[in-house]
Amino acid sequence: MAVPTLDTAVVDELVAICGEENVLTGRSALFNRARVPAPFPLHRWEQFTPQAVVLPTSTEQVSAVVKLANRARVPVVPRAGATGLSDGAVPIRHGILVDVKRMDKILEIDVDDRTVTVQPGINMMKLSQRLQPLGFIYPDDPASYPCSLVGGRIGTSGFSLISGRFGHTRDLVISFEIVLPTGDVIRVGDGGGRKIRKSSSGYQLKHLFMGHQGTLGIVTEATLELVTRPEAEFSAFFSYPSYLDAWRATGEFARSGLATLAGVVLFDEQKVAYLRRDDEAWIPAPDWVKSITAVAMYGQKDEVRAGAKQIMRIAKANGSTYAGDEVSQGDWWSRHDRYATPLHGRTRSGQAVLMSWHCEDAAINHSQLPAVREKWHWIVDDLRRRFDTFDDWGMFSYTNGAFRPGGDYLTEIDVGIWEQRYDEEMWAAWVDAKREIARVAIEHGGSMSSCHGSCREGEVDLLPLELGGGFDVMKKVKRVLDPNNVMNPGKYLLDQAYEEEA
């Protein structure tokens, strides 16, 4: 199948900028940078391939590539780990893909001012391995902790599972350097000062460039928090006879006010039924176990111990049954690994099939969780009734607020999709379902994405509904910063910014 080719003069110039070994145009280089783990129309793969890949090694190279793209009017798409569950790193208009994986250095560790400065291609687990002997950790902990990269975490404004204690990506990144869509290079923080955490100087530009899904530039360096490594961890899983019991207990845990509380997780009844398919911790659980909560705490030994004891009191007062140390520790330690295996998939007749894991994530307030849950399952059940290629894998809710968890929740419904069977009808049904799931979130006062981003086909249609007048500001910002619409075009409905201008 033909991939539109790039003008050879542009390729030559890319080689001149980045060096021959850092420019790729072969078919396997292009097809292997088309997708991320988000829902992908496998039957239309060729629509999403870049025309050239560059693997820059410096900010100067990135800047020169972006300037070239402006001159040649070729799209530029940044790509870090490509583990995102939105489509930020997918080149939907072809163009030049800027893959930052060769920028993976630690530039400075400052123990005194407690910062670590890195390039965007470094992974958090690898970073923490380097920090451990110094008594520090970089505690940005998504499910993709073992593979996602710092650049992508900034591009998506990532969610951390232990944010109740340590904050999310936006709280852990102090400042960063970004190549703007015109190729100019700036540094953004709260205000100025590379290592300053709080400033009232000027606009809060750090937040503007956090979670832009590659539409506002390419991060080339970041200064991060160096966090004191916790002495102690506590994790506890509790069982309940119903979702509502677990939901109420979740609220009580979160309301404890304990500073060491890193997160509370709520597993609904469908999720527990799903875990009984193949999870060694829950296969032997008694029949009455219908719903689960989990609590995680980190800090110095004395404070965690005291806090954990309080959690156990709250648990008892709320009808929780402790699942024991083995399950509690094992399940928490496997939080990155356990939930996205293709063989979880089942046809209606119960046969195992290889399904992609698609997690629709929204931010929902505690009060709204039961109502949203019912509606979401209805939408997915309807899909499964119509197509024997979708499977309801149940719902999780994680405390969403940094440092003061419990008022709202990252709430996800996990849907298994047998993507080998994709055709246009099935794809269209899926896109419709995603849009409906997002609509429910907005109607209940939530946001349609807490962690992945909302620029995918389907829910992106509702972005103006969610943001209201804010979406008009987004368009104006985009037009000013990216006059030629070269930076990851086609995402977030931002082409509209240029239509209005014309």
Partner 1 sequence: MSAEDVRKGREQATNGDGDGNLPVGIDEWRDAAYNCFSSGHKFCREVCPVMQVTHDERHSPTAFHANVVAMEKGHLDIEDVAEDYVHCTMCGACELRCPNTLFTGDFYRFRQRTIGVVRAMRKLAVDRGIHQPNWKRWAERTDQWGNEPVLGWNIETSDAKVRDWAVGLDLPTGGETVIFADCEAAFKRPSIPRAVALLLQAGGIEFGLMSQQWCCGGPMFETGYHDIAHKMVEHNILDWRRNGTKRIICPDPHDYITIIEHYPELDENFDEFEVVLALDLIADLIRDGKVTLTNEIDSTVTYHDPCRLNKRLGKWQAPREILRAIPGLKFVDVDHVTQWSYCSGAGSNLFVEKPELTAKISRRRIDKVKELDGVDTLVSACPWSERPLTEQGEAQGLEVYDIFELVAEAAGFEV
Partner 2 sequence: MLGFRLSAQRPPAEHRRISDVVISRYEHVYEVDPRLMQEHVRQQSLPEWDFHRIIENRVEHLVWMQQHFADSVISGDDLIRELEQEGD
The footprint of partner 2 (CB under 8 A) covers 125, 128-129, 132, 137, 139, 141, 162, 229-236, 276-278, 280, 283-284, 298, 301, 304-305, 308-309, 312-313, 316, 322, 324-325, 328-330, 333-334, 336, 343, 346-347, 350-354
356's contact among partner 2, partner 1, none, with CB below 5 to 8 A by partner kind, is partner 1
Q: Which stretch binds partner 1 (CB under 8 A): 120-128, 375-383, 394-402, 465-473?
A: 120-128
330's contact among partner 2, partner 1, none, with CB below 5 to 8 A by partner kind, is partner 2
Minimum CB distance to partner 2 smaller for 216 or for 304: 304
Q: Is 126 in the site for partner 1 (CB under 8 A)?
A: yes
40-59 footprint of partner 1 as x/- string (CB under 8 A): --xx-xx--------x----
Asked whether the beta carbons of 41 and 90 are under 8 A apart, the reply is no
Upper half-sphere CA count for residue 379 (Cβ side, 13 Å): 25
Q: Is 31 in the site for partner 1 (CB under 8 A)?
A: yes
The Cα–Cα gap between 264 and 330 comes to: 16
The Cα–Cα gap between 138 and 213 comes to: 22
The radius of gyration of the chain's CA atoms, rounded to the nearest angstrom, is 23
Asked whether the beta carbons of 321 and 329 are under 8 A apart, the reply is no
Asked whether the beta carbons of 378 and 234 are under 8 A apart, the reply is no
132's contact among partner 2, partner 1, none, with CB below 5 to 8 A by partner kind, is partner 2
Q: How far is the CB of 265 from partner 2 (least distance, A)?
A: 15
Q: How far is the CB of 293 from partner 2 (least distance, A)?
A: 13
Asked whether the beta carbons of 427 and 417 are under 8 A apart, the reply is no
Which one of residues 8, 28, 200, 351 is an interface residue with partner 1 (CB under 8 A)?
28
CA distances to 218, 227, 229, 289, 365 from 295, in Å: 36, 21, 19, 17, 18
Count H helices, E strands: the chain?
17, 20
Tell me which residue of 283, 285, 311 sits closest to 297, measured CA to CA.
311
- ∠ CA(187), CA(59), CA(81), 5° rounding? 95
Minimum CB distance to partner 1 smaller for 421 or for 444: 421
Which one of residues 110, 184, 231, 278 is an interface residue with partner 1 (CB under 8 A)?
278
25's contact among partner 2, partner 1, none, with CB below 5 to 8 A by partner kind, is none
Q: Please report, as residue ranges, which positions from 128 to 187 form the binding site for partner 1 (by CB under 8 A).
A: 129, 144, 146-147
Which one of residues 352, 371, 428, 480 is an interface residue with partner 1 (CB under 8 A)?
352
Find the largest Cα–Cα distance for the chain. 71
Asked whether the beta carbons of 261 and 165 are under 8 A apart, the reply is yes
Q: How far is the CB of 255 from partner 2 (least distance, A)?
A: 19
Q: How far is the CB of 398 from partner 2 (least distance, A)?
A: 16
Q: How far is the CB of 312 from partner 2 (least distance, A)?
A: 5
Write phi, then psi, for 432 (nearest 5 degrees): -60, -45
46's contact among partner 1, partner 2, none, with CB below 5 to 8 A by partner kind, is partner 1
Give, for 64, the enclosing helix (H) or strand (E).
Answer: helix 59-72
Q: How far is the CB of 416 from partner 2 (least distance, A)?
A: 13
The Cα–Cα gap between 329 and 342 comes to: 24
The Cα–Cα gap between 456 and 454 comes to: 6
DSSP string, 201-242: SS--HHHHTSS-TTSS-EEEEEEEE-EEPPSEEEEEEEEESS
> Cα torsion at 325, 327, 333, 339 (round to 10°)?
-160
Minimum CB distance to partner 1 smaller for 79 or for 478: 79
Q: How far is the CB of 355 from partner 2 (least distance, A)?
A: 10
Which residues lie near partner 1 (CB under 8 A)? 1, 24, 26-29, 31-33, 35-37, 42-43, 45-46, 55, 81-83, 99, 101-102, 104, 121, 123, 125-126, 129, 144, 146-147, 278, 280, 334, 336-338, 340-344, 352, 354-357, 419-420
